[in-house]
Amino acid sequence: MPSFMKDELKKKDEQKLEEMQQEINAAHADEADEAEEAASESAENENEETQEPQDEAAAQIEKLTAELKEKEDRVLRLQADFENFRRRTSKEKEELSAVVTQGMLKDMLPLLDNFERAMAAEAKDGEAFQKGVEMIFTQFTEILKKNGLEHIEVEGQKFDPNFHQAVMRVQNADMEDDDIAQELQKGYMVKGRVIRPSMVQVVAN
């Protein structure tokens, strides 16, 4: 084969190889572009998928924060209402106590008047003084009863530590154990509540 033909075939082969290489390079380039595009789409999808939960979490946090703020405001309002209620009831108790005290003292003013009269009559008339003291005692007793004072009954009663204070134990064959033999000091209640127990002797045979 003539050399010029060999050279021509060589050129054709080189040209063919070059074309094939170009095609290969182009194919690689297309593959790279496709891969890059796929990666970009995947990243976008991932971003979208990631962004969506983030948006939901942010919305949930915002909702919970608003609810917490609302509850905090409610607690503060309740605390303020409670403090106002406490101050109001405390003031009402003080006012009620003052009214009760004023009413009792007002009831005792006639008693004070009679004391003054009895003291004035003492030097002149002993009998008048005695009657005055008796009247004062009666008035005083009525005033105390009016304000809820009650005498704790002990006659014929058994000893009860809720109402009685045993200061002495005595033997008495005519009485049973725990019978009250004698009242040494009167006890009193106010509207059912003991303010001073009766001091008593209790039988212990």
Report which residue type is found at 178: D
Q: Does 149-205 match 69-147 at the fold level?
A: no
Q: Among all chains, which residue has been given the structure tokens 């074309």?
A: 19
pTM surpassing 0.85? Answer: no
* Segment among 89-98, 150-159, 179-188 with least mean pLDDT: 89-98
Burial class, 187, CB count within 10 angstroms (exposed 0-12 / middle 13-18 / buried 19+): buried
2: pLDDT strictly greater than 70: no
The stretches of the chain forming alpha helices (DSSP H) are 3-121, 126-146
46: pLDDT strictly greater than 60: no
Interval 3-44: pLDDT, tens: 444 455 556 666 666 666 666 666 666 665 665 665 566 555
Give CA–CA dist 107/123, Å, rounded.
Answer: 28
Q: What's the CATH architecture for 69-147?
A: Alpha-Beta Complex (3.90)
CATH number of this structure's domain 149-205? 2.30.22.10
163 neighbors 197 (Cβ within 8 angstroms): yes
Q: Tell me the domain boundaries of the chain.
A: 69-147, 149-205
Give CA–CA dist 185/139, Å, rounded.
Answer: 21
Residues 6+ apart with CB under 8 A from 198: 152, 154, 163, 164, 165, 183, 185, 186, 187
199 neighbors 167 (Cβ within 8 angstroms): yes
The torsion defined by the Cα of 46, 47, 52 and 58, in degrees rounded to 10, comes to 130
When pLDDT is averaged across residues 57-70 and rounded to a whole number, the result is 85
Task: Supply the pLDDT for residue 92.
Answer: 82
Q: Is the dihedral of CA 62, 68, 71, 73 positive or negative?
A: negative
